[in-house]
Amino acid sequence: MCGINEMTRTLEGEKGTTICGNVIWLVVFFAFALSGSANVVLAQTADLIVFNGKIATVDGNMTMAEAMVIRDDIIIAVGANQDMLKLAGPDSKKLDVKGRTVLPGFIDPHWHMTGFMPQDFPEVKGINVPPSHDTGVVKKGIEEALKKRVKEVQPGEWIIINPTGDAARQVILYEEITRTDLDRWAPENPVMLNETGSGANSQILFSTKAREIIEKELPGFKYFSDRDIVFDGVNLSGLITKDILLKRKEKEYSSSIKKLLMGESSPKGITTLGTRITRTPLNSLFLLDQRGEMPVRFGWLFSDGSFYNGDGFYKRFPNFAGVGTKYLWGLGSGEEVTDSPSTALCTTLPIINRELKERLAKAKIDPCFLHNPVKRATVKDQIQYGRGVEYHASGDKTVEILLEIIDEIRRETGMTVEEIREKRLTMEHLHMVRPDQIPKLKEYGIIMSNTPGYLPYNLNPVAPANVLQNYGEQYLGWSLPAKSFINAGIRTVIGEAFGEPFDAMKMLITREACFTPRLPGEGEIGVEKCKVLAPEEKIDRNSALRMSTIWPAYYMLKEKELGSLEVGKLADFIVIDRDYFTVPEKEIKNIKVMMTVLGGKVVYATPDFGPVDRLLFKTPEYHGKAQLAGM
């Protein structure tokens, strides 16, 4: 560990180079020459000293320290307790972490944000239909709920019906309810029928009046038939509710989104998020940033571009990647849903499960959404004219198509490999990546974003992405092959941790997936089953930590500012209740965040941490249930 005469700073680069006593002491030297006392100058610059901790800097050497010094929102020194405490001045605050482990704040570059609190906006609350395993019962429930709602609203008012579960999914997929039915039951109202609860791609259907409204707002929507969009319920329901039903409600929305972010990020130790976003929530975030009220750092990407204009939209769209403030900036553009493990894997492998094969045929599902020429053209433009991010690549065929699109761009434009690498393109979820694809992914510098929460799909007998059952156990090594990515030198991260970063890390470290059936057909309800899947793809703890901190900082275009606790970086860190580096592997998922600090200001603390000076909090609204000390 470096002391005050050996302060460390990791230079830019994957491995990092440790330098002791150069950069920080140049500052001290000139300060000393001007004032005659380096200690006095440094004491004046210390706002907060965090000490008595096991601080994992996550620099190139995974250096550990006892203390760090923060000025404004920047780390200005890291080292031993005795050296860092000497830098305290009369106005400096001190935070004794009592020997606990301190980690950089987590960065989740693929966080699915619902974007609003439904109870805050009655107009976007759907009418729930009681779940059933009988499609006839579900269909009747949808019809009755819709007809009842028609009597309660005015002509032209939107009606949203939300049936839930697998039977509801089948009713829409198998066209047991069609647009004609919706038009007959509600002739004067725009209707959105959105099955929920089946995963990333809930099924969706619109009435004719609804489509007419949508096409005025989203000109590209007219290129998509009901069958084209049936699989895109999560994206489209959010797009319609936010940018049509909640149009011009940015001020109200900003309060709702702030509550959402405060409740879903800080308690989990997440200090930076990346997500696709639409107009209304983005304008709301701009308002929060202007008011200095952002509760988390936020990288946003514009998505669903094919619904706006499938013909040349991104040729005219500015490349805003990296543009913004320290709390809110652009990541690029992405169609995102180019396939979905919740619908079916877009893979080159034959399906060995006859039931799944018959079901997909009956539903007329092509799981390779990039076969749609509008979506493919949109993705091509996004990559060629800007930065393409968050492309679902759940199946190896989608990976193949995305690589083909890049090759096509290079042939047509003469773009070099290095120019492609500079874009930092990303692929997400990675439920099936072939070993022979890894060299090309490495060559193009594709950032691979693993979603550990999809590993349990391999234990769910009704999941289309169950590799064990539907394709064969020999292909389990294709599922989230994080170890292979790392060994090949591919930038790899954890994305969409489902709000549980430690559980996500534990799954990649142990490769143990656990699944508890909730519905008949999935197994014995409430009885957990666990299995180690492709143990050769296990990763070590340091790699898992880097996949949640410094490596996603590169994905977020902020590796110089975020992801590690080094001199010159933003002071985003968490304090946890047990030592990540020594706790048994299976218990990593049980680690709790006791404190989250954003830019040197506390935004979350549990009572178990102990008394916290109330002046250390960003604002009083973050006090929560924390024990308060001081004035």
pLDDT band at 15 (very low <50, low <70, confident <90, very high): very low
282: its two tokens: 């983005």
Residue 278 falls within a domain, yes or no?
Answer: no
- 253-281, pLDDT tens digit by residue? 898 889 889 998 999 999 999 998 888 88
- Mean pLDDT score across all residues of the chain: 88
In 335-395, alpha helices (H): 354-362, 373-385
49 and 8 part of one domain: yes
139: amino acid identity, one letter: K
> Which of 221, 245, 269 is at the close of a domain?
245
Whether residue 413 is found in the same domain as residue 525: yes
Within a domain: 289: no
Regarding whether 530 and 610 lie in a shared domain, the answer is: no
- Is residue 271 assigned to a domain? no
Task: Tell me the average pLDDT across 307-332.
Answer: 88
Q: Give the residue from 204, 221, 245 where a domain finishes.
A: 245
pLDDT at residue number 492:
97
Same domain, 313 and 389: yes
Among candidate residues 504, 532, 555, the one where a domain is terminated:
555
The answer to whether residue 284 is domain-embedded is: no
The answer on 185 and 99 residing in a single domain is: no
Residue 425 has pLDDT above 70, yes or no: yes
Does any domain span residue 250?
A: no
- Residue 125 pLDDT greater than 50, yes or no: yes
**With 80 as the cut, is the pLDDT of residue 6 above it?**
no
Matching residue, tokens 């008394």: 611
Residues 487 and 407 in one domain: yes
Domain assignment present for 280: no
Distance CA(355)–CA(366), nearest Å, equals 16
Residues paired with residue 388 on neighbouring β-strands, in sequence order: 333
How far are the Cα atoms of 235, 317, 366, 402 from residue 380, in angstroms, in the given order? Answer: 20, 13, 20, 9
CA distances from 299 to 259, 296, 328 (A): 18, 10, 6
Q: What is the pLDDT of residues 79-124, one digit of tens each?
A: 999 999 999 999 999 999 999 999 999 999 998 765 555 557 887 8
542-597 pLDDT tens trace = 999 999 999 999 999 999 999 999 999 999 999 999 999 999 999 999 999 999 99
Q: How far apart are CA 500 and CA 458, in angstroms?
A: 19
In a domain, 265, yes or no: no
Is 38 domain-assigned?
yes
Which residues have C-beta within 8 Å of that of residue 211, sequence separation ≥ 6? 179, 221
Within this chain, do residues 569 and 546 fall inside the same structural domain, yes or no? Answer: no
Residue 57 CA to residue 49 CA, distance in Å, equals: 15
CATH of the domain at 65: 2.30.40.10
Q: Decide: 192 and 210 in contact? Cβ < 8 Å.
A: yes
Residue 54 DSSP class: E
In 3-state terms, what secondary structure has residue 315?
helix
Q: What is the pLDDT of residues 460-511, one digit of tens each?
A: 998 889 999 999 999 999 999 999 999 999 999 999 887 899 999 999 999 9
- Same domain membership, residue 230 and residue 330: no
Q: Same domain for 419 and 465?
A: yes
Residue 16 near residue 22, CB atoms below 8 Å: no
Domain count, the chain: 3
In this structure, the answer to whether residues 535 and 601 fall within a common structural domain is: no
Q: Which domain holds residue 382?
A: 300-555
Dig out the tokens for 520 from the structure: 């008949």
User: Is 454 a residue whose pLDDT tops 80?
Assistant: yes
**Whole-prediction pTM:** 0.90
Look at residue 33 in the predicted model and tell me its pLDDT.
Answer: 34
Give the model's pLDDT for residue 40.
Answer: 37
Q: Check which CATH number belongs to the domain holding 551 and give it.
A: 3.20.20
Q: How confident is the model at residue 196 (pLDDT cuts 50, 70, 90)?
A: confident
Confidence of residue 535 (pLDDT cuts 50, 70, 90): very high
Collapsing DSSP to helix, strand or coil, 332 comes out as strand
- Residue 310 sits in the same domain as residue 189: no
pLDDT of residue 479: 96
48/149 same-domain check: no
